[in-house]
Amino acid sequence: MANIYYESDINRAAIAERKVAILGYGSQGHAHALNLKESGVDVCVGLREGSGSVAKAEEAGLTVRSLSEASAWADVIMILLPDTDQAEVYQEHVAPNLDAGDALAFAHGFNIRFDLITPPEDVDVIMVAPKGPGHLVRRTYVEGGGVPCLIAVEQDPTGGAKDLALAYADGVGGARAGIIETTFTEECETDLFGEQVVLCGGVTELVRSAFDTLVDAGYQPEICYFECLHELKLIVDLMYEQGIGGMRYSVSDTAEYGDLTRGPRVIDDQVRVTMKKVLEEIQSGAFAEEWVAEAHSGRENFYALEEKGRQHRIEQVGSKLRAMMPWISAGKVSVQDASGGQG
């Protein structure tokens, strides 16, 4: 069983006298910075020159420095930039400013797991990964709750890396919900697999394929949108709150029978073979190599696939239907408005 920690397990002194630099002010960056600041931690935000996020961070009451200045000022440096940007930023701005006993922190194991960043041996290397998007991490903290966090320690020359990781996770609200101990490798590989097979890739393709099947059979696109996409949130919420069994109890007997008998036909043994192949590509580093090469060569294929997705007819139908339901986004702040976006 995993080790799980709560507020009573935290040594808050481990971070009380530290200076924390958050590099990046995207979805996770703004949540980490603001939550830590309001938890009493001395924090600044490090951004590139000319970044559009500078004004947003300063308006939120945060001190903003350049990437190099923030790295030199801090003794705990959390890198919350896109995975494919981190190695370059580390080499240029972070590595020259690391001192023995400093801590290098990540919210995802990608760059350590695939050896894109190799920290010096006299620096602690930790991970603190809230299990939710930054805007949920922030909103839940403000409401007095917290989002569960993962922590991991890759290097511990000071002997205090785990205490620091726990205190950092507590500072962003994680100990209110629970902090689970893992490793950089486990977090990275399972996170990539979940994104590709279920949370993003799998769900996206399942929804679009089902929608296309119904529309091509002559059903109205608006009805198909509700059946294949809109109602998905209702089912996921039930699973989130009560597990798969609780969801099945909540739906009709007809829906449950269809789930039990037709679901395995859709996700069959061949799909499981493909899932294992995707996992092998992650474990071998093939996916990381492919993605880094794509990102560093101009992202031509990436942007083409993005545009193809935007042109899918479910997006056109969904845009019109969501405009008829303003309550969906009422009172919610967009990623772009609150932070620098994905950075």
For residue range 202-235, list pLDDT tens digits in order.
999 999 999 999 999 999 999 999 999 999 999 9
Domain that holds residue 305: 193-329
CATH number at residue 179: 3.40.50.720
d(CA 113, CA 118): 10
In the predicted structure, residue 182 carries a pLDDT above the cut 60: yes
> How does residue 342 score in pLDDT terms, banded at 50, 70 and 90?
very low
Average pLDDT over residues 1-18: 96
> How does residue 343 score in pLDDT terms, banded at 50, 70 and 90?
very low
Same-domain status, 141 and 99 = yes
Q: What is the reported pLDDT for 328?
A: 84
Q: What is the reported pLDDT for 118?
A: 98
Q: What is the reported pLDDT for 340?
A: 59
Same-domain status, 205 and 263 = yes
> Listing from the earlier edge strand, what are the strands of the sheet with 179-181?
4-5, 179-181, 149-155, 124-130, 103-106, 76-79, 19-23, 42-47, 63-66
Tokens of 201: 């890739």
Average pLDDT over residues 34-39: 98
> How does residue 336 score in pLDDT terms, banded at 50, 70 and 90?
low
Domain boundary among 129, 156, 183: 183
30 flagged as catalytic: no
Average pLDDT over residues 7-23: 97
Contact between 171 and 36 under an 8 Å Cβ cutoff? The reply is: yes
Which residue is associated with the tokens 């190695």? 87
Domain boundary among 119, 151, 183: 183
Q: Which residues pair with 63 in a beta bridge?
A: 44
For residues 163 and 326, the model is more confident at 163
Tokens of 117: 């960043």
Domain boundary among 148, 183, 218: 183
Q: What is the reported pLDDT for 338?
A: 59
Same-domain status, 220 and 323 = yes
**Domain assignment present for 335:** no
Domain count, the chain: 2
Q: What is the reported pLDDT for 326?
A: 87
Measured in Å, how far apart are the chain's first and last C-alpha atoms?
A: 34
Q: Which of 77, 75, 104, 99 is nearest to 17 (CA)?
A: 75
d(CA 33, CA 56): 12
Same-domain status, 36 and 171 = yes
Angle at 145 between CA 4 and CA 7, to 5 degrees: 40
In this structure, is the dihedral angle defined by the CA atoms of residues 63, 64, 69 and 72, taken in order, positive or negative? positive
Q: Which of 32, 93, 108, 135 is catalytic?
A: 108
Q: Which H or E element spans position 223?
A: helix 221-225
Q: At what angle do helices 161-171 and 27-38 cross, to 10 degrees?
A: 90
**Domain assignment present for 338:** no
Same-domain status, 213 and 155 = no
In the predicted structure, residue 341 carries a pLDDT above the cut 60: no
Average pLDDT over residues 297-301: 97
d(CA 172, CA 107): 12
How big is the chain by its Cα radius of gyration, in Å? Answer: 22
